[in-house]
């Protein structure tokens, strides 16, 4: 083999591997969707409910992908950003607060959504300035602590509803529903507000995915990957690595705040009990399954994750009818844990990720 032929082979091999990897990942995501329809007996109410949650966590996982997959920042306090976004949105639009049901809020919906994203940006700024210089595990520990502090503060403040939370804030969102959605909902035999949320949630996923693609493929995105791979080299080229990492955390915070808005609309009522560290675990699981450092990975990973999480209980109940409901419910977490372990052994980069993307020093 000549040198030119060897170079050609080396150049084409990654492309072939990438194409087959994309095909396998797409096939698994499609099989997950087919399983969802089959397990739900083609009941659109169940299917839409699962896919709405998948959309919410896809947006949250894309936020983590920007911070970790493209910048190398370990944010284990994602639920804190979602909490800030959800509460900002719910408190600004018309709502009822706490056990007494005190009415409040007068902002239009679009302004409340923007405010929720700005709140995420500000949290990223406040959190990032003193902590983004920390490395690896230290940054992860700080973000976990901040998220839990925020949850406890919300539970303690009377003006935020304390443990009773915020209720009855979905009317402004439902009022924006176009007439054709009701016709479609009637044809599918689903609640109109559920179909409306499904459409909005997945349009949001597409919009965030498009914005991510533009950012990552821009010169700014290339600097982010440089910071992730070799921060010292980026500094040697005259770039302010700290400022780029802070920008990543702030933009990721805005996306997480938007995920918090979708989360709040889906829940219909928010309280501190809904913002446990488990929410962060779900978002990270979706990212790991799909693959960090890939655009579509978090979206596909979120769909696969929620299909497995919601449909394995019924499957275990059919296979082991003698089991108690508690044991059957636990099987979904056992299966998810086993799947992650298998993935880490045989494909640590995830379904759509690239192995070279993991060859980095966590910043």
Write out pLDDT tens, residues 225-243: 998 888 888 888 888 889 9
**Least confident span in 166-170, 338-342, 358-362:** 358-362
Confidence of residue 296 (pLDDT cuts 50, 70, 90): very high
Per-residue pLDDT at 312 exceeds 50:
yes
Q: How far apart are CA 59 and CA 80, in angstroms?
A: 15
Q: Report which listed range, 311-315, 322-326, 334-338, 358-362, is most confident.
A: 334-338
Higher pLDDT, 236 or 266: 266
Long-range contacts of 41-48 (CB under 8 A, 24+ apart): 44/188, 44/189, 44/190, 45/189, 45/190, 45/191, 45/194, 48/190, 48/194, 48/195, 48/198
Write out pLDDT tens, residues 313-322: 777 766 777 7
For residues 113-128, average pLDDT = 95
**How confident is the model at residue 129, as a pLDDT?**
87
Per-residue pLDDT at 362 exceeds 90:
no
């Amino acid at each position: 083999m000549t040198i030119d032929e060897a170079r050609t082979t080396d150049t084409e091999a990654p492309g072939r591997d990438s194409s087959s990897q994309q095909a396998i990942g797409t096939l698994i995501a499609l099989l997950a969707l087919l399983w969802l329809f089959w397990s739900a007996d083609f009941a659109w109410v169940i299917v839409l409910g699962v896919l709405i949650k998948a959309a919410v966590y896809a947006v949250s996982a894309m936020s983590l992908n920007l911070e970790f997959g493209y910048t190398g920042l370990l944010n284990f306090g994602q639920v804190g950003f979602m909490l800030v976004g959800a509460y900002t949105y719910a408190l600004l639009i018309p709502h009822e607060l706490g056990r007494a049901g005190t009415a409040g809020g007068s902002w239009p919906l679009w302004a409340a959504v923007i405010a929720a994203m700005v709140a995420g940006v500000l949290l990223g700024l406040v959190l990032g300035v003193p902590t983004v210089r920390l490395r690896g595990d230290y940054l992860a520990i700080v973000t976990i602590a901040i998220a839990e502090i925020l949850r406890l503060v919300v539970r303690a403040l009377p003006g935020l509803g304390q443990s009773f939370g915020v209720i009855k804030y979905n009317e402004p969102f439902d009022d924006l529903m176009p007439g054709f959605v009701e016709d479609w909902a009637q044809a599918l035999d689903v609640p109109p507000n559920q179909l409306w949320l499904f459409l909005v949630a997945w349009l949001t996923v597409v919009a965030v995915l498009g914005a991510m693609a533009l950012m990552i493929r821009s010169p700014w995105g290339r600097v982010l990957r440089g910071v992730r791979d070799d921060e010292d080299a980026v500094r040697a080229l005259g770039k302010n690595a700290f400022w780029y990492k802070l920008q990543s955390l702030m933009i990721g915070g805005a996306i997480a705040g938007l995920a918090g808005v979708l989360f709040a609309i889906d829940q219909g009522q928010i309280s501190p009990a809904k913002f446990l560290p488990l929410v962060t675990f779900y978002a990270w699981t979706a990212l790991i399954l799909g693959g960090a450092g890939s655009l579509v990975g978090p979206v596909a990973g979120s769909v696969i994750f929620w299909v497995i999480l919601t449909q394995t209980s019924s499957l275990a109940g059919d296979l082991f009818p003698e089991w108690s409901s508690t044991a059957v419910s636990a099987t979904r977490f056992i299966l998810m844990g086993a799947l992650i372990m298998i993935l880490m052994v045989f494909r640590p980069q995830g379904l759509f990720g690239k192995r070279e993307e993991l060859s980095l020093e966590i910043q």
